[in-house]
Chain A
Amino acid sequence: MSLLHVAIISPFLMAILVPFLYKGLRSIHTGWFVLALPILLFTYFLQWLPVTRKNEAIQESMNWIPSLGIKFTAYVDGLGILFALLITGIGALVVLYSVFYLSKERENLHNFYVYLLMFMGAMLGVVLSDNLITLYMFWELTSISSFLLIAYWYDRERSRYGALKSMLITVFGGLSMLGGFLLLSIMGETFSIRELVAQAGELNDHPLFLFAMVLVLLGAFTKSAQFPFYIWLPDAMEAPTPVSAYLHSATMVKAGIYLVARLSPIFAFSEYWFWLVGGIGIFTLFWGSFNAVKQTDLKGILAFSTVSQLGLIMSLLGAGAAALHYDSLKDNIYTAATIAAVFHLINHATFKGSLFMVVGIVDHETGTRDIRKLGGLLGLMPVTFTIAVIGAFSMAGLPPFNGFLSKEMFFTGMIQLLNVDIFNLQTWGMLFPVLAWVGSVFTFIYSMMIVFKTFTGKLQPEKLPRTPHEAPFGMLVSPMILAALVVLFGIFPNLLSYSLIQPAVAAVIPSLIGPGEQVPVHISHWHGFKPELFMTIGVVALGTAMYVTLNKWSKVYQLFPGKVTLNALYDTGLYSAERGSYTLTKSYMTGFIRTYLVYIFAFFIGILGFTMWNQQAFTFKTDQLAPIGVYEVVLVLVIAASLVTILSAKSRLTSIIALGAVGSAVSLFFVIFRAPDLALTQLVIETVSVALFLLCFYHLPQLSRHEERMSFRLGNLLVSAGVGIVVVLIAISAHSNKMFESISKYYVENTYDKAGGENMVNVILVDFRGFDTLFEVCVLGIAALGIYGMIKLRLEKKGGKSDENE
């Protein structure tokens, strides 16, 4: 266990302390204690930057379940450090923000920070694990902690609905991913991602390869809210805003992105990977941005915008797969897509985090997030407005913010796909730039909506629950830092390119990097008059025009009936799954023992009959049969007559007496077959049980004491006849198939010599196999105690107690 492991686990350790801090130090907001940890971790991870810059990695291993090859291997490379810095950095800012956002008096802060720290630790574990099983464990921990955080205000119905929905979808994906991981480990015979990457070439031809890929991608797509699994993200907006800012914009939803990027070296050679990741990504981009425009809730807009931006990053990662089909880094223009993906990942975390915090401030200070009620806050909240402008303009892709740069690079990546002559891209490649451009137009529109519908226009104080005013300074610090980063990265993008982007890209496409080589990353503002610049100009022009005329064409959204949305599909799907399983269970679990007996016996007949028939097992040999005497025949007739009487008797008493006759006849059989001990026992037991039957008969309730013949049912006849025939057939076959001598000879020879007895049956019962007897005695004891208990302990019956006291 190294310091690195301690760093990953430290949030969990801190989470244990939080409730004590909350109870013990009520006067200080618990968030202040928590804040120290992410800051510490951030500085700790910063120290690895010089190592990862050289495309080297730090690896620390700790055995967890060594016999299964499961280790807790912490592995820090360019990609891991990028995510770790995002998680701890934005984590620190979010904790700081939450200190001012959540009230010390009214909220259950200890719950909040325990969940949040759990999430932070889980997320660190996801991005820094090299072992697939460890990764999966942390992955599920993020799902669980996210579930807890979404339902933080658990007394609200919508929160619980959103939490359940996100849980179902992400856990579905998580389980698929586990399946994919297991297939991967079967193919590569290791759980280590690095070792799998090393044998990527061989894995490609494996028959399980495609299954593994689809299953892993299901996990990534559900977590990263890709089409059609994005539906949980808008409903997760019921969570407190710091949670939305942290989980649902900057970190958790990027776990899927991380997974795709991490496993790219294994899967990306495949054509399916390109189409699945790239195609679904670009469609999610378009769909998310298209739907964001119709939202009226600020967090709703941001949720769909997150979906759309994640689609953007995903499509870039898919497009980056094209780079692997070229041997070297030289003149490999397709690496631009991967670089853009990593760059936009950072940018999105910064501007989306700040936007969520802005929305939280607006919500906190006005009491609503509905853009139809908001407006004219510009004069009242100037600082918030400035931050919102920076974030939203960056999201829309306007200079000089960082979103502009990554949007330009995104267009570059998409346009370059036109030049690719693999994967059928000649025919379908055109879709990528077109969808990208249309999606960007909608992105521009909703970004403008966030700023202008909230902060400009007319103030409507009568619609607002609270009188709006500027937020306290503490609440503004975090979004201000993020906005500052947006501007900083916008103006000096190469601050990032050498320290973070280069090593991260190198981790995504390791096969292209030679020793000592670096990915050439140089982000410049001015490319010259290239198509992407004109595309951006087009986006701004068309976006402005469409924003101004929004009221005229927004009816377009009403063309889609509400019933055919994916949400409706999810709701009806869940409802009909419940309904269907209820109906199904109801249909065969009738509550009648008769039905269950029919199932059991029918299954018995079916399975045994089928096996006999299938194995051609029926044999009938007569050579071992003993001669049949007259007396056996007579006894069989007696038994048969008694059985017919039992079945056809009108009175129950007759049945009971006939049953006694059967018992006596059986004991007579024991006499004929020379089993005196059995005959003795059988007689006694038979008499006792007949007496017991009579006892039961007497206690039958008066109401149902109809003396009537057992009614005839064809089904019962068939089942009972079937059971009888099958058993007889099996008995005959078993008797005809005696393979070897019985072991009874040993008993005959040794009963007197070794055990000192003459009665062989009794010697077997108490000597050779006395162990069985012990437990049969036990059974009798239990039965006796049980009967005593049943008779004496009639707790729910009213008269029970007084009966005993008499």
Chain B
Amino acid sequence: MLEVVMKISLVCFSLAMLGLIYRLIKGPTTPDRVVALDAIGINLVAIVGILSMLLKTHEFLDVILLIGILAFIGTISFAKFLEKGEIIENERRH
């Protein structure tokens, strides 16, 4: 029973992912895409979580954490890039 539920939720997440990817492709602006990418990251967290339950392993819990961190860092850097045009500011300019 649980397995069926998990598979259904996997399909749901996949559909959500497809929708996000549609947004990623379509745009129309870059922030739209960045937000889509961030949401894809969180989707990935969920998918990996369900998958590791399906595969009956706890080896992938690290991956979940890592995706969370990376999605955060990635979104921050994109955001900074969009705002200032660069990610790591050159200190020497000041």
Interface set of A (CB-CB < 8 Å, partner B): 630-631, 634, 637-638, 641-642, 645, 651, 653-654, 657-658, 660-661, 664, 667-668, 671-672, 674, 676, 679-680, 683-684, 687, 690-691, 694-695, 698, 806
Contacts and interface: CB of A to CB of B under 8 A. Distances in A.
Given A638-B17, A654-B30, A680-B63, 18 more contacts: A634-B11, A634-B14, A638-B18, A645-B24, A653-B33, A654-B33, A660-B74, A661-B21, A661-B40, A664-B40, A667-B44, A671-B60, A676-B59, A676-B60, A676-B63, A679-B48, A683-B67, A694-B87
A658 B11 contact: no
A680 B21 contact: no
Contact of B25 (A641, A660, A683): A641
Nearest to A630: B11
Task: Return the 8 tightest CB-CB contacts between A and B, nearest first.
Answer: A676-B59, A634-B14, A645-B25, A687-B70, A679-B63, A657-B33, A687-B74, A671-B48
A668 B44 contact: yes
A412 B81 CA distance: 101
Nearest to B82: A653
B47 A668 contact: yes
Contacts of A683: 63, 66-67, 70
Contacts of A660: 37, 74
A interface, over-half SS: helix
Contacts of B59: 674, 676
Contacts of A657: 24, 33-34, 37
Residue of B44, B85, B92 ringed by the most chain A CB atoms within 10 A: B44
Contact of A674 (B25, B57, B77): B57
A369 B10 CA distance: 102
Contacts of A653: 30, 33
A546 B9 CA distance: 115
Contacts of B85: 698
A661 B24 contact: yes
Given A680-B63, A683-B66, A683-B70, A664 B41 contact: yes
Contacts of A694: 77-78, 81, 87
A679 B60 contact: yes
B85 to A, nearest CB: 6
B44 to A, nearest CB: 6
Nearest to B85: A698
Contacts of A641: 18, 21, 25
Contacts of B81: 694, 698
Contacts of A687: 70, 73-74
Interface in B3-48: 10-11, 14, 17-18, 21, 24-25, 27, 30, 33-34, 37, 40-41, 44, 47-48
A654 B32 CA distance: 11
Contacts of A631: 10, 14
Nearest to B67: A683
B21 A642 contact: yes
A701 to B, nearest CB: 15
Interface in B46-75: 47-48, 51-52, 55, 57, 59-60, 62-63, 66-67, 70, 73-74
A684 B63 CA distance: 10
A331 to B, nearest CB: 103
A638 B60 contact: no
B25 A658 contact: yes
Given A645-B24, A695-B87, A664 B44 contact: yes
B63 A671 contact: yes
A664 B33 CA distance: 15
Given A680-B62, A698-B81, A658 B24 contact: yes
Nearest to B36: A657
Contacts of B34: 657
B26 to A, nearest CB: 9
A609 B40 CA distance: 39
A686 to B, nearest CB: 8
A671 B67 CA distance: 12
Contacts of A680: 62-63, 66
Contacts of B63: 667, 671, 676, 679-680, 683
A625 B74 CA distance: 37
Nearest to B57: A674
Nearest to A692: B87
Contacts of A695: 87
9 contacts: A657-B37, A660-B37, A661-B40, A671-B48, A671-B60, A672-B51, A676-B59, A676-B60, A676-B63
A638 B47 contact: no
Contacts of B40: 661, 664
Nearest to A634: B14
A141 B78 CA distance: 70
Contacts of B52: 671
Nearest to A695: B87
A572 B92 CA distance: 64
A641 B62 CA distance: 28
B37 A661 contact: yes
Contacts of A630: 11
A676 B66 CA distance: 11
Contacts of B27: 654
B44 A674 contact: no
A691 B14 contact: no
A800 B2 CA distance: 64
Contacts of B62: 676, 680
Contacts of A690: 74
Contacts of B14: 631, 634
Nearest to A674: B55
Contacts of A806: 92
Contacts of A658: 24-25
A542 to B, nearest CB: 97
A630 B25 CA distance: 23
Contacts of B92: 806
Nearest to A653: B30
B87 A691 contact: yes
Contacts of B37: 657, 660-661
A644 to B, nearest CB: 8
Contacts of A672: 51
Contacts of A664: 40-41, 44
B41 to A, nearest CB: 7
A664 B70 CA distance: 11
Contacts of B70: 683-684, 687
A620 to B, nearest CB: 29
Contacts of A674: 55, 57, 59
A679 B63 CA distance: 7
A661 B10 CA distance: 18
A695 B89 CA distance: 12
Contacts of B47: 668, 671
B22 to A, nearest CB: 8
A135 B33 CA distance: 78
